[in-house]
Amino acid sequence: MLPTWNQTPPFTLTRASHVRLAVTDLPSSRDFYRDTIGLVVTEESDDVVYLRGLEESAHHSLVLERGDTAQARQIGLRVRTDGDIVAAERYFTETGIAHERVEVPHQGPTLRFRDPVGMHFELTSSMDLVPRKMQDFDEFVAGAPQRLDHYQAVTHDVQTATDFWTGLGMRMSEYTATDGTDELWGTWMEVKGNTHDLVFTNGKGPRLHHFAYTVPDASALLHAADVAGARGFGDEIDRGPGRHGISNAMFLYLRDPDQHRIELFTTHYQFIDLEEQPIRWDVSNRRRAQLWGLPASRRWFFEASEFPDEPLHEPLLTATPATLEDFLGVH
């Protein structure tokens, strides 16, 4: 069933903001994201590294925290004002969603909560500012990521996740459904005017599938792949380069030393005008995932980062897309 987009939500979300990961070897992870991906290190200590894209003025969009186990700790979203944090607290209290206000370095008022399908989220209304590096072309290395754009999460219940987030003002731009129905297999939702800030796809969850940064152009994707190969991460190219049907972006997916997945991509089309309608794709249509090239592997479809102390649930829908192994007849 297609969700109802709430155009007057209880508080105002503005964009995907930051992701917080636990990593088991902090120096190795820092080096990967700085030298193989091309992110900027804003600040670091023995226990945490803050990174950002070249055009970002916010202090961080990726936080690496030393941990005994590799995990996705929080998915970060921005709200417009401090008052929206207060409004979110009030809404979560009224609707029975557990939440807590936390003090987080370099962030303004910050609220953490679990959504109805178990994803761990963090809302903040502001961050410390740092100089943009978008014209420091001498510092453009690897894929030269510009800014964090979106997340894709895996959930056992796409319908419930989508209903919750569209109720908070996210708008569905594209979706995949069981062939011939509107039984939701995947939903792409946005608040900032392109095709997505947050994606949910059907699978064992809750887990973070990937987080994504924009790059300047397709040549940056190819250079990132070359750099990954030169630095010994060629086998960690998880998928691509290729072009998605959904969103029309060119893409490259890589895995870090702890197997967290990052996407580099060439951004999306606009989805702003209110009369626009979401694009529907049959889950069996291979063109939704890539307009050309081979399907993604099983590890791309079925491996993802878990959240701390969060049990996994088997998906409600049994239909699964064809994988590269299926295409090749590999068992």
**pLDDT in the model for residue 321:** 78
73-104 burial code (b ≥16 CB/10 A, e <16): bbbbbbbeeeebbbbbbebbeeeeeebeeeeb
Alpha-carbon distance of 161 to 157, in angstroms, equals 6
The alpha carbon torsion through 114, 68, 202, 302 (nearest 10 deg) reads: 180
Three-state secondary-structure class, residue 50? strand
**How many other CB atoms sit within 10 Å of the CB of residue 181?**
11
Alpha-carbon distance of 182 to 189, in angstroms, equals 16
- Residue whose entry in the numeric block shows the structure tokens 């893409």: 251
Please choose, from the candidates 213, 206, 184, 7, the residue with its C-alpha nearest in 3D space to the C-alpha of residue 113.
Answer: 206
Alpha-carbon distance of 186 to 188, in angstroms, equals 7
Confidence tier at 318 by pLDDT (50, 70, 90): confident
Residue 331 pLDDT exceeds 70:
no
Residue 326 pLDDT exceeds 90:
no
- Residue whose entry in the numeric block shows the structure tokens 């995907």: 16
Q: 5-41, pLDDT tens digit by residue?
A: 999 999 999 999 999 999 999 999 999 999 999 999 9
Q: 228-285, pLDDT tens digit by residue?
A: 999 999 999 999 999 999 999 999 999 999 999 999 999 999 999 999 999 999 988 8
User: Which residues neighbour 154 within 8 Å (Cβ) at sequence distance 6 or greater?
Assistant: 200, 201, 202, 203, 204, 205, 206, 207, 208, 209, 304
Tokens of 4: 């109802």
**pLDDT in the model for residue 295:** 87
Average pLDDT, the chain: 96
Our measurement of the distance from residue 223's CA atom to the centroid of its chain's CA atoms, rounded to an integer in Å, reads 22
Choose the weakest-confidence range: 77-81, 112-116, 325-329: 325-329
**How many other CB atoms sit within 10 Å of the CB of residue 137?**
10
High-pLDDT (> 90) share of the chain, %: 89
251 close to 263: Cβ distance less than 8 angstroms: yes
82 close to 109: Cβ distance less than 8 angstroms: yes
The radius of gyration of the chain from alpha carbons, rounded to an integer in Å, stands at 19
Three-state secondary-structure class, residue 278? coil
Query: pTM here?
Result: 0.97
Q: Is 38 left (phi over 0), alpha (psi -120 to 50) or beta?
A: left
Q: 206-234, pLDDT tens digit by residue?
A: 999 999 999 999 999 999 999 999 999 99
